[in-house]
Chains A and B, each alone.
Chain A
């Protein structure tokens, strides 16, 4: 009995160690990026290469990266684009979900599947024609142009509908009796009840849009309209491969992502796994 327990705890520790090693391999690229940001140019090209920088107080790379690219402007652009896209997407999705739960009307199923059908068409295959549309609308180099293709959120609509369906119907009836209009019912009764799911969808949507690359790249030409994700890729050119600066820039943009991830990890995880169940 005793021996068995010892064997069990030994094998448990072994598994834990293996897991730690694998975990370390997984986060190695992140570590490499952050550690590299503290190395001087000379330290970076030295052979054999080192992993740990000589000092963590060497901040020249960050200063130079900030001087070379308007990172605050990039962050502002990303914030506006992700914020606008998320707010509008959720507003549209909430309205649609509300209608599908609390109204009966002709063509309800048709419209429902029309919206869900947008999930079948991957956005990346549509970028060329969407680019033509957006440029014809004169929205190149605008925040609206970058956000406009993300206004339709079929997944969000579906999840909100699932949530609204579980709310007691008496609320709506009672509210209607008291002469409470649709919008007031939505904003002062339904949304406060559904707050957890709305928050989750908000966070998940925001993170996705914050990380978007391809579309914001296509519709921006001016440097001061770039988002962070697009901006950092312009730190290096073929003639000028200043890798230490690149890693400093990457580390800088990782900071907000990590803060978001740590604070909102539960929400993100919940939103993603819940979104998966829709599939």
Chain B
């Protein structure tokens, strides 16, 4: 991949006045100005400000009134809700990513070969993509309700789901997994269908069974997609806040408080901007670290065809 494309300069054939010359030089910068301006104003500036806030004493208006050193971080690590949120986020991330990957690999393998009815079930597998987060959160809230919901009755169980501090996180987990089903399935399916037929046929002739083909040929060849799915799902899961806001408000007893939700309550509800910034920085660092970890694994296990 070449970074610099062969560019043709628009040589001024007619006017070579100073004005035109200046214009020609500044034109590319002019075109870049809008995206760069907004990128700085709404991505880089808030990031550096968050960084700055995390080391400062900040008043409720968002003004910095002094330098705090590491006090904010020390306060945060001593804050009970923070350790709960950190634990919740990490558990939620680990379980969401692993469950989503396993389920969508399964659905992609099922749909890989065209069969009767495949048009119908392929559409069903992608359906979660058509539903927005807030709509499905409301549906799950009703569906998992212990009295009017259908799930308890259908499965013959009696769980409190979002009303019980032991099970609430699993409700959120199911929701997070469900939301990723459509997209990840499509990615795996296109990766599986991208494997050359000759490879599969040759291995069949060699007498390889289903599982041998799966683990020796199909899995190794889709590892780049697997890496991508794991990374994006990890980032998404670490950012979980919407379902928590809509369904449980972090409860019961903080059992569903996630990092971003805690950041939102600290910054937006209590105007504790330095605490919110510390949480933001930690979440960012964790997400970045997890992605990095995935890439370290990539060097060991990912095969590029």
Contact = CB atoms under 8 A, between A and B. Distances in A.
Contacts of B242: 213-214
Contacts of A51: 150
B36 to A, nearest CB: 7
A96 interface: yes
A5 to B, nearest CB: 15
Contacts of A111: 32, 36
B242 to A, nearest CB: 5
Most interface-central of B35, B50, B238, B284 (chain A CB within 10 A): B35
A186 B121 CA distance: 42
A246 interface: yes
Interface string B257-291: 00010011001100001001100100110011000
Contacts of A95: 31-32, 34-35
B268 A118 contact: no
Q: How extensive is the interface on chain A, given as a class?
A: 35 or more
A101 B133 contact: no
A221 to B, nearest CB: 12
A32 to B, nearest CB: 5
Contacts, number: 275
Interface residues of B, number: 98
A276 interface: yes
Contacts of A260: 130
Interface string A125-142: 111111111000000000
B53 interface: yes
Interface in B209-244: 225, 228, 231-232, 235, 238-239, 241-242
A225 interface: no
Contacts of A55: none
3 tightest Cβ-Cβ pairs between the two chains A and B: A23-B124, A128-B267, A261-B130
Interface of B: 3-10, 14, 25, 27-29, 31-32, 34-36, 38-39, 41-47, 49-50, 53, 62, 106-107, 110-111, 113, 115-118, 120-121, 124-143, 145, 147-150, 153, 178, 181, 183, 186-187, 190, 225, 228, 231-232, 235, 238-239, 241-242, 245-246, 260, 263-264, 267-268, 273, 276-277, 280, 283-284, 287-288
